[in-house]
Amino acid sequence: MRQSLPICEDSPFCSPLFITIMLNFLLHFSLPFGISFSDNCVGYSFKMINLNKSQRRSYLCQNESLKHMHGEIKKAGRLYDINMVKQATSLSVVIPVYNELGNLSLLHQRLSDVMSSMNVEYEVVYVDDGSTDGSFPLLEQLAATDLHVKVVGLSRNFGQTAALAAGVAHSSGEVLILLDADLQNDPADIPRLLARLEEGYDLVSGWRRRRWGDGWLRCLLSRLANLLVSRIAGIAIHDLGCTLKVYRRAVFAHVPLYGEMHRLLAAYAALAGARIAEVEVTHHPRYAGRSHYGLSRTLKVLLDLLILKFYRSFATRPQQLLGLPGLLALALGVAFLPFALVLSLLARRPRVGSWSGPVLLGGAGCCCFSLLSLQLSVLAEMLMRTYHESQNKRPYIVRCFVSGAERCECW
């Protein structure tokens, strides 16, 4: 069996230019030796280079049409080992930052102490979300003095969800740790969350049982919101608002980040099939600066709950959401019309005749509403099908695939 050459990452033989030249050489000169390559082989190879082992396995499992190209590359005899081209770090800590100048130095010190004590490869990705208090220059200093630090500077304030999405996109760890920069989350809780993740879960959420520094009204509204979300999403989570969470990277492959999904990220992950656990964490009062969250976000959470309910129940069948009320209104309208006709025949009686006009208008209104609702349901169904078919989206997510003695983990 042909073995891969032990080439280190710093070798020029692992550079993208060398790999491109060799793949093109194999592509154009392999025909005399009976080896065939498809046209997308080179692009596919670069796709595989940017993925770690578990991600490549998931990518191959979900893209079965590309498996033959993977076999062709192995058949031709690789001059490099993909595992050696790019070694992904084990852990990535993603921290969105917005005007947290007074907290960053102490936060980085505590976080570095915890991560260094774990003896694992890690990186810390700070995402500056358009800070105006001098947070970004301090982050640049941290990146210059600590090789584990990466800094992503956004052009303006896009919000926490966009900042998290940027941090995830610029990270390379197989396990992602999300953390706030206000020092209310304790980095010392990270090892306990990671230990729970190793029990077979895809997401481990922090639970702030005792919330110091938050008013009673804010805690009450938070508990009510968590109760509603738990009922709608069907998960037993006490604290969805805690930013301190540990994810497997595969979760973000099935849950894209946009809008303000950071509040209900665990709920969307549960709808995608993620296995979720919860661990009690320490909650501290804010060390410096002021809170960026207020009671005004309560109304936003209610709107997010409507989207969550629609996403869970009607995302792939919107016709039921609009079509059923339309049919009910049509039935009422048809029932009102003969009733209005009877009342019009009895119009000579003053007490009875006065009801014929409102009943007729009510029946006509129900018929018009039913027609509009049914038309919207058809349009929603067409948009849903166009969305799934144009982007090749499947209405299911495969966790694993078993064939004989082989098991392919796709999640």
In a domain, 395, yes or no: no
pLDDT at 287: 75
- Residues 164, 189: one domain? yes
Comparing 180 with 17, the larger pLDDT belongs to 180
Mean pLDDT of 125-142: 94
Residue 340 confidence (pLDDT) above 70: yes
Residue 142 confidence (pLDDT) above 80: yes
pLDDT at 296: 63
Which pTM does this prediction carry?
Answer: 0.66
Interacting residues of 300 by C-beta distance below 8 A, sequence separation 6+: 260, 263
Residue 234 confidence (pLDDT) above 60: yes
Could you tell me whether strands 245-248 and 149-153 are parallel, antiparallel, or unpaired per DSSP bridges?
A: unpaired
DSSP secondary structure code for residue 206 in this structure: E
Confidence at 127, pLDDT banded by 50, 70, 90: very high
**Lowest-confidence range among 18-27, 140-149, 337-346?**
18-27
Query: Do 114 and 199 contact (CB within 8 A), yes or no?
Result: no
Helix, strand, coil distribution of the chain in percent, nearest 5: 55, 10, 35
Q: Which residues constitute the domain of residue 72?
A: 12-85
Confidence at 24, pLDDT banded by 50, 70, 90: low
Query: Do 365 and 377 contact (CB within 8 A), yes or no?
Result: no
- Residues 291, 367: one domain? no
Tell me which residue of 401, 402, 405, 404 sits closest to 58, measured CA to CA: 401
pLDDT at 124: 96
38-75 pLDDT, tens digit each? 334 434 433 444 445 455 555 445 454 444 434 433 33
pLDDT over 90 percentage in the chain: 26
Residue 104 confidence (pLDDT) above 90: yes
Query: Do 125 and 209 contact (CB within 8 A), yes or no?
Result: no
Q: What angle do CA 381, 386, 391 make, to 5 degrees?
A: 140
Among 51, 68, 85, residue at a domain's last position: 85
Identity (one letter) of the amino acid at 127?
V
Number of domains in the chain: 3
- Residues 214, 358: one domain? no
- Residues 323, 308: one domain? no
pLDDT at 268: 86
pLDDT over 70 percentage in the chain: 70
